[in-house]
Amino acid sequence: MDHWLSLPREGVLPLRSSFLPEKIPQLLPSLIIYEMVSPTFIKFRLAGTAVRERMGVDATGQNYLDYVSPERREKASQSFFAVVGQPCGMRVISHHGMASGQKKYLEILMLPMENDRGENPIVLCQGNEIKPEKEELFQDQDLLKNISIVRRDFIDIGAGLSGFTD
């Protein structure tokens, strides 16, 4: 977040053109850049090596929502658009079933950017594996599509907080 805060901006959000991922090499493996094309298409613009390994695929160019179970897609999209609609950050703690069959507990930080390179909003996402506070079991074995949100917090970056709730 410190790097994001240090970027040039013309308002609340930093400019996409000022964000050079190579300037934060320690975050590159776990970095995702999303382009918010529409409520039904959230495009992976960049997926770091750790993300590709977790997913078992390079999702660059693909729709994030294709990796979400059909019954959760609308809420997942709404949560992403909440970050850009009311510019704010979002911290999510979630369980993820991976393509490898592994189960991971992740802490994810999402921050919006002003897309001065195109018309669609941009969201940066960085996630790290963490240890759960207590052992929790997955409800099913749907592998990659098994994403359970444990906690979601919005972060005021100068424009207030989103009212989105699951």
Task: Return the structure tokens found at 128.
Answer: 């790290």
Residue with tokens 């609340």: 12
Does the residue 107 lie in any domain? yes
Does the residue 18 lie in any domain? no
- Digit-by-digit pLDDT tens for the chain (166 residues) are 788 988 988 889 999 999 999 999 999 999 999 999 999 999 999 999 988 887 888 999 999 999 888 888 999 999 999 999 999 999 999 887 766 666 778 899 999 999 998 899 999 999 888 876 665 544 444 444 567 788 899 999 999 999 998 8
Q: Judging by beta carbons within 10 Å of its beta carbon (0-12, 13-18, 19+), is residue 88 exposed, middle or buried?
A: buried
Sheet strands (E) in the chain = 31-38, 41-47, 89-97, 103-113, 122-129, 147-155
Laid out side by side, the sheet with 147-155 consists of 41-47, 31-38, 122-129, 103-113, 89-97, 147-155
Sheet strands (E) in 82-146 = 89-97, 103-113, 122-129
Does the residue 108 lie in any domain? yes
* Enclosing domain of residue 37: 2-12+25-155
* pTM of this prediction exceeds 0.75: yes
Does the residue 166 lie in any domain? no
Does the residue 140 lie in any domain? yes
Does the residue 165 lie in any domain? no
Does the residue 17 lie in any domain? no
Task: Return the structure tokens found at 160.
Answer: 């207030």
Does the residue 50 lie in any domain? yes
CATH of residue 145: 3.30.450.20
* Number of structural domains in the chain: 1
